[in-house]
């Protein structure tokens, strides 16, 4: 298949792109742009960070992504910047010279990735308004201890960039786009097209950000049968925010959804902020996080507690499903062949509801939960009238804690009620011991999250994060 993208305003045409060829390998071994490095080939170290852009207004909306798990066809019709792009004019950017002066590199291998993350921040790429440490939490450095990198970022926080020419070139590129270039790769441009494709190929593999499926290829060495890329389906990329809540199209990326979700509840915003590094949140989607059915996917427990529902579509048929009903068993979801998740709706919690969402992992950033707990208590006059409690990491699927909910429902919000709910929680789950935590730890920590909720409601500081920065 032929794909085309813009690299430093020049069109790169790849006539023989395999659907599972990665952008990183193409840059390094075909274009000989070896500044972009492979550190892990699974999206966890950021050494392969590049900027990918779409036309927006008369400029470009850039986002930092991991090139190692980005399939080449996913950047068809997009603009790409690598570390080499930054010295196209001959001289390095002020950010780079500052980093060089500042001792921001030691072995230098991770450095181009940091440069691209921080350059993205400086030119206003997605997530640029986050604290610097968040912007680079998806970039691992083993040498410096990060201080000199953070310093350099503070010193050069803004770089002007004129993308008008790139935007024009990108529009021309997309306009001249051959509509059917498919050979082993589909990239529908509308929801109807997607629905029709799935009727024709009911067992096709849907790809949104490839932050999970990418590893099937780079680590599992698998081929993908009939990949369908949904990142260019406009109807799946919409965010609707109203009094009832937030509705996210299935291909909305975490980074795009963050602000709306944070407005639903700050805990939800914080949860999303802690999913992957920024590069992962700039690629991965809430829809993918749900649809792949991971027992520890961080989104679902919180969304279940908030009462989220899914709209699934097959052909022209749609059905709505409570999110908790979607997860049937480990690796098994209530999705028929040919059906796809179109959108997820998350209701807005009542102003006086008690919402508490907590994720426990070895590392705060870019780690997967050992336990993720979400509590949503609807209150009336000091009594809990409705309780929705959901956990990830405690069972084969994200799921509600029925006994715990029963202990809370119609009970006064008191220490004694919490104690009973913690006790009841022991009947809800029989967690596993695995690489992220032992069963006893999970059981104890899950109960303690209820205690944390209690102490927080008493106005006590309960999170070590509150004492930072």
Partner 1 sequence: MTAPKPSLPHDSALLHVTGTARYIDDAPEPADLLHLAFGQSTETHAAITGIDLSAVRAAPGVVAVFTAADIPGHNDVSPVAHDDRLLADGEVLYRGQPIFLVAATSRGAARRAARLGRIDYAPRPALLTIADARDADSRIEPTQRMARGDAAAALGTAPHRRTGGFAMGGQDHFYLEGQVALARPGEDGQLHLASSTQHPSEVQHLVADLLGISSADVTVEVRRMGGAFGGKETQAAPFAAAAALVAAKTGRPAKFCCDRDDDMVLTGKRHDFTIDYDVGFDDDGHILGLILRLASRCGATVDLSPAINDRAMFHADNSYWLPAVEILSERLKTHTVSATAFRGFGGPQGMLAIERVIDVVAASLGRDPLDIRTANLYGPGRDVTPYGMTIADNIAPALIARLRRDSDYDARRAAIGDFNTRHRVLKKGIALAPVKFGISFTTTHLNQAGALVHVYADGSIQLNHGGTEMGQGLYIKVAQVVADVFAVPASTVRITATRTDKVPNTSATAASSGADLNGMAAFEAASTIRDRLAGVAASIGGCEPDAVCFTPAGVVAGAETIPFATLCRKAHLARVSLSSTGFYATPDIAYDRAAHRGRPFYYFAYGAACAEVVVDTLTGEHRVLAVDILHDVGRSLNPAIDLGQIEGGFVQGQGWLTTEELVFADDGRLLTHSPATYKIPTAADRPDRLSIALWDGENVEPTIHRSKAVGEPPFMLAQCVLSALGEAIAATTPDRRAFPPLDAPATPEAILRAIAAHRA
Site residues (CB under 8 A) for partner 1, limited to 207-266? 219, 221
Which of 58, 129, 145, 183 is in the footprint of partner 1 by CB under 8 A?
Answer: 145
Q: Which stretch binds partner 1 (CB under 8 A): 72-80, 83-91, 154-162, 346-354?
A: 83-91
Which of 12, 31, 61, 133 is in the footprint of partner 1 by CB under 8 A?
Answer: 133
Which of 16, 32, 179, 203 is in the footprint of partner 1 by CB under 8 A?
Answer: 32
The residues with which 66 forms a beta bridge, in sequence order, are 49
Which of 10, 382, 435, 459 is in the footprint of partner 1 by CB under 8 A?
Answer: 435
Sign of the C-alpha dihedral computed for residues 85, 87, 90 and 94 taken in this order: positive
Q: Which stretch binds partner 1 (CB under 8 A): 51-59, 145-153, 166-174, 241-249?
A: 145-153
- 6 close to 13: Cβ distance less than 8 angstroms: no
Q: Report the nearest approach of partner 1 to the CB of residue 232 (Å).
A: 27
* Distance in angstroms (rounded) separating the CA atoms of residues 170 and 173: 5
Give the three-class secondary structure for 300: helix
| Residue placing its CB nearer to partner 1 in the complex, 62 or 340 | 62
* Distance in angstroms (rounded) separating the CA atoms of residues 42 and 54: 24
Q: Which x/- pattern over 88-117 shows residues binding partner 1 (rule: CB under 8 A)?
A: ----x---xx-xxx-xxxxxxxxxx--x--
Q: Which x/- pattern over 273-312 shows residues binding partner 1 (rule: CB under 8 A)?
A: ----x-----------------------------------
- 260 close to 246: Cβ distance less than 8 angstroms: yes
Asked if 437 is part of the footprint of partner 1 (rule: CB under 8 A), the reply reads yes
* Distance in angstroms (rounded) separating the CA atoms of residues 126 and 131: 13
* Distance in angstroms (rounded) separating the CA atoms of residues 323 and 42: 28
Identify which of 273, 243, 242 has the alpha carbon closest to the alpha carbon of residue 257. Answer: 273
Which of 23, 51, 69, 150 is in the footprint of partner 1 by CB under 8 A?
Answer: 150
Q: Report the nearest approach of partner 1 to the CB of residue 266 (Å).
A: 18
* Distance in angstroms (rounded) separating the CA atoms of residues 346 and 434: 31
Q: Which x/- pattern over 389-428 shows residues binding partner 1 (rule: CB under 8 A)?
A: ----------------------------------------
Q: Please list every residue from 357 through 386 that binds partner 1, using CB under 8 A.
A: 358, 360-368, 370
| Residue placing its CB nearer to partner 1 in the complex, 83 or 353 | 83
Between the alpha carbon of residue 319 and those of residues 190, 248, 283, 315, 334, the distances in Å are 19, 16, 27, 11, 11
Q: Report the nearest approach of partner 1 to the CB of residue 360 (Å).
A: 5
The residues with which 64 forms a beta bridge, in sequence order, are 51
* Distance in angstroms (rounded) separating the CA atoms of residues 92 and 96: 6
User: Which contacts (CB < 8 Å, 24+ apart) does range 446-449 have?
Assistant: 446/371, 446/373, 446/391, 446/394, 447/422, 448/422, 449/356, 449/358, 449/360, 449/371, 449/373, 449/375
Asked if 338 is part of the footprint of partner 1 (rule: CB under 8 A), the reply reads no
Q: Report the nearest approach of partner 1 to the CB of residue 325 (Å).
A: 29
Q: Which x/- pattern over 42-61 shows residues binding partner 1 (rule: CB under 8 A)?
A: x-xx-x--------------
Asked if 271 is part of the footprint of partner 1 (rule: CB under 8 A), the reply reads no
Q: Which stretch binds partner 1 (CB under 8 A): 188-196, 312-320, 349-357, 450-458?
A: 450-458
Count residues contacting partner 1 (CB under 8 A)?
A: 92
* Distance in angstroms (rounded) separating the CA atoms of residues 157 and 339: 45
């Amino acid at each position: 298949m032929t794909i085309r993208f813009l690299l430093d305003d020049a069109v790169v045409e790849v006539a023989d792109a395999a659907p599972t060829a990665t952008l990183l390998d193409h840059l390094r071994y075909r274009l000989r742009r070896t500044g972009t490095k492979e550190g892990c080939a699974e999206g966890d170290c950021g050494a392969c960070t590049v900027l990918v852009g779409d036309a927006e207004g008369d400029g470009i909306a850039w986002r930092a992504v991991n090139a190692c798990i980005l399939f080449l066809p996913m950047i068809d019709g997009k603009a790409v910047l690598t570390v080499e792009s930054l010295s196209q004019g001959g001289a390095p950017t002020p950010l780079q010279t500052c980093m060089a002066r500042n001792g921001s590199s030691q072995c230098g291998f991770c450095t181009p990735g940091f440069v691209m993350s921080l350059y993205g921040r400086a030119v206003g790429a997605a997530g640029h308004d986050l604290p610097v440490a968040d912007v680079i939490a998806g970039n691992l450095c083993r040498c410096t201890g990060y201080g000199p990198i953070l310093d350099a970022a503070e010193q050069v926080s803004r770089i002007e960039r004129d993308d008008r020419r790139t935007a024009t070139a990108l529009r021309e590129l997309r306009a001249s786009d051959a509509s059917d270039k498919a050979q082993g790769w589909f990239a529908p441009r509308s929801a109807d097209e997607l629905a029709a494709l799935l009727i024709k190929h009911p067992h096709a593999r849907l790809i949104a950000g490839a932050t999970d499926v990418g590893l099937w290829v780079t680590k599992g060495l698998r081929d993908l049968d009939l990949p369908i890329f949904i990142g260019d389906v406009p109807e799946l990329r919409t965010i609707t925010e109203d009094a009832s809540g937030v509705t996210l199209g299935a291909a909305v990326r975490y980074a795009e959804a963050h602000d709306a979700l944070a407005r639903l509840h700050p805990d939800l915003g914080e949860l999303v902020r802690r999913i992957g590094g920024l590069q992962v949140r700039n690629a991965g989607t809430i829809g993918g996080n749900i649809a792949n059915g991971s027992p520890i996917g961080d989104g679902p427990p919180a969304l279940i507690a908030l009462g989220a529902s899914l709209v699934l579509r097959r052909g022209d048929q749609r059905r709505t499903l409570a999110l908790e009903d979607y997860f049937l068993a480990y690796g098994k979801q209530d999705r028929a062949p040919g059906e796809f998740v179109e959108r997820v709706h998350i209701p807005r919690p009542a102003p006086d509801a008690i919402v508490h969402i907590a994720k426990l992992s070895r590392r705060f950033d870019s780690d997967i939960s050992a336990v993720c707990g979400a509590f949503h208590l609807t209150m009336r006059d000091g009594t809990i009238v409705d309780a929705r409690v959901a956990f990830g990491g405690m069972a084969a699927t994200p799921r509600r804690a029925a006994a715990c909910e029963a202990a809370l429902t119609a009970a006064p919000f008191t220490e004694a009620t919490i104690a009973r709910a913690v006790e009841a929680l022991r009947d809800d789950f029989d967690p596993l011991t695995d690489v992220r935590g032992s069963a006893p730890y999970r059981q104890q920590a899950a109960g303690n999250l209820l205690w944390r909720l209690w102490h927080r409601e008493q106005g006590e500081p309960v999170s070590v994060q509150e004492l930072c920065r």
